[in-house]
Amino acid sequence: MNGSLPRSAFVALAALLPLGLSRGAHAEPPQMREHEASAAVRTESDDGRVSLSIGGFLQARAAFTRGTGPDAEEADPLVSLTRARLYTFGHVHDPSLRYRLMLGTNGAETTFQLFDAYVEKTFAPELRIRFGRTKIPVFRSWVESARMFAGVERDAATVALLPGREVLVMVRGELGHETLEYAVAAFDAGERHETTAIPAAAARLVWNPMGHALEGEVDFDDTPFAVSLGASALTGRKPTVAWEGSERTVDETLAGAEVLLRAHGFDLGGEVERRDRRTADGARWLVRGAYARADYYVPSLQSAFGVRTSMIRSSDPTLRDRDEFELDGGFYPGRHDVKLVGEVATARVGGSGTRELRAALQLQVAF
């Protein structure tokens, strides 16, 4: 897909545009609130015991990166279909037993892969039990759907420390009319990737003092005032991992603390993140990351403008230090279901004086 988008991608985007502009489209809320999802394509059995909805989104991106300095890596201008996601969801037997299946592509990949496949039983708003493949509930920027961002992509720190998806058992819910949100998950990570932990557990707790859970990164609704405070963590062990030429046992923890404030068009957020790996012989690799962002929505222009900064500090030889500053702007004729977002960013990489300049423009259509 380097250089140009296939014609079929433009046709698909054009076909989905009217669906995305419809006021009822809200295909994929954040990861912990899929039970609120609705879609433009939906059918239900006559007795109401079974329902089937189909949703999805496409992101087409044009990006340019230029590097300077001794370790700079030049990248050709790239036009690509960054994400193509198709999901089906609904309920069986009764609305309290829901399912979700999501397939799609990611980045430069052209083959479809399985992202989500789970069932969830709701006993009450305070108690929902989920089983299947889904996101590990660590870090707000990871739990939040990629289609809900104000910028083109997740911040650099979260991308470096992504917890990933796993087949897991999760207990979650909302207490006090969304004042407190929680999620606790357990899983056997197997051989998923280098941050594998066997066995592993993860948890996320979010406090919304005003009793209003916050979604996405743009305040379309002129919220009077709302605050969200959260923390998340993962811990586990991988018995054998190849590290510096030998097999070692690695204990790993991830931890994050988040804050989000929304008021009268302003949307402010930030998070600190940490990954700590230790081996039985005393070796240790520590990575710390953080980001902060501020966005403002202008209703008369259907547009938002923002700034974001992020940093990574690492003793892991596979991950370099990074400082990044980004300006972004977006046009939202269909809120997050139809939007055009652009960004310019500059980054300092490592300690050798290497710098990067990046510009990107992304069109998103969801249904």
| Confidence (pTM) | 0.84
pLDDT number for residue 23: 43
Q: What is the pLDDT of residue 10?
A: 43
Confidence of residue 3 (pLDDT cuts 50, 70, 90): very low
- CB within 8 Å of 251: residues ≥ 6 apart: 197, 235, 236, 237, 277, 278, 279
For 287-294, what is the mean pLDDT? 97
Structural domains for the chain: 7-366 (2.40.160.10)
* Lowest-confidence region among 146-150, 286-290, 301-305, 314-318: 314-318
Rounded to whole angstroms, the Cα distance separating 159 from 306 reads: 20
Contact at 8 Å (CB) between 10 and 119? no
How confident is the model over 231-281, as pLDDT tens digits? 999 998 765 555 556 666 778 899 999 999 999 999 999 999 999 988 877
| Residue from 146, 333, 140, 296 nearest 219 by CA | 296
Q: Of 256, 229, 128, which is closest to residue 184 (Cα–Cα)?
A: 128
Q: What pLDDT is attached to residue 280?
A: 75
Chain centroid to CA 229: 18
Share of the chain above pLDDT 70, in %: 80
Provide φ and ψ at 299, rounded to 5°.
Answer: -60, -40
Residue type, 329: G
Question: Does residue 205 have a pLDDT over 90?
Answer: yes
**pLDDT at site 5:** 46
The pLDDT value given to residue 239: 56
Cross-strand pairs, 118: 100, 132
Residues 190-194 have a mean pLDDT of 49
Q: What is the pLDDT of residue 7?
A: 47
What kind and span of H or E run contains 20? helix 7-21
- Across the range 201-205, mean pLDDT stands at 96
